[in-house]
Amino acid sequence: MKPEDVVIPEDALSESFLAATGPGGQNVNKVATAVQLRVDLFRLGLHPDAYERLKRIAGSKVTGAGELLITARKYRTQDANRQDARRRLAEMIAAAHIVQAKRKPTRPSRAAKAQRVDKKKQRSAVKQTRGKVQFD
């Protein structure tokens, strides 16, 4: 699933604006351009496995009440920060829908084991021929 394909229901989102830090000069002190996006994870309607993966991906951004907090303050305008927060949310949801393939443990074949033992024997024979030189 691509981030562009993610559909986020509007009733699961709530936005608040706060004073940002960073670029913007005096405008930063006057205008609340940073966006804090709160997402109710239960209202997203995700599959239980995807829900658990999303919680793991979000980590400490998930509150005890099951809300995901995304703060965007990278840009100078509210609209750009709002788009950035929604884009990051869509990326997280898309990543949560990716199921990791289970690793199947493999074993070396009988031929590979025999080959390894033969090489060990050869190396051992080389080392056996080394030794102290005796002068008669």
Q: How far does the chain reach from its first CA to its final CA, in angstroms?
A: 79
- pLDDT tens across 43-96, in order? 777 788 888 888 888 888 888 887 888 888 888 788 888 888 888 888 888 888
Structural domains of the chain sorted by starting position, each given as residue range(s) with its CATH number in brackets? 3-96 (3.30.160.20)
Residue 121 is predicted with a pLDDT of: 96
Q: Is there a contact between 36 and 20 (Cβ–Cβ < 8 Å)?
A: no
Instruction: Give the pLDDT band (50/70/90) at residue 29.
Output: low
Question: Does the pLDDT of residue 36 top 70, yes or no?
Answer: yes
pTM as predicted: 0.65
Question: Does the pLDDT of residue 24 top 70, yes or no?
Answer: no
Ramachandran region of residue 13, left (φ > 0), alpha (ψ -120 to 50) or beta?
Answer: beta
